[in-house]
Amino acid sequence: MKNKSNSGRDDMMNKLGNEMNKLGNEMIDGAKEIGHDVAKGAKMVAMDAESLGKSMVKEVKSAKDKFMNKK
């Protein structure tokens, strides 16, 4: 049987452990959400970079064609 003086401490430690577990889960959820947001942002940047790259290729081809036609 538990000593009465220890049972209060044990209850408090259990409550503290439960709260720490909840906070840990919230931190994990927050990190996942941040990770998803970062991934979305990275995808958008990649798409913008691809679009910019395609535009640059078109401009270079156009400039090359103009240069070649002047010769």
Query: What pLDDT was estimated at residue 7?
Result: 86
Q: Where are the domains of the chain?
A: 1-71
Q: Give the model confidence (pLDDT) of 7-17 as tens digits.
A: 889 999 999 99
- Alpha helices for the chain (secondary structure H): 4-70
| 2 pLDDT more than 70 | no
Taking the C-alpha atoms of residue 54 and residue 66, their distance in angstroms, rounded to an integer, is: 18
Indicate the DSSP class of residue 3: -
The predicted-structure confidence for 16-69, as pLDDT tens digits, reads as follows 999 999 999 999 999 999 999 999 999 999 999 999 999 999 999 999 888 888
Per the listing, tokens 């970079």 go with 49
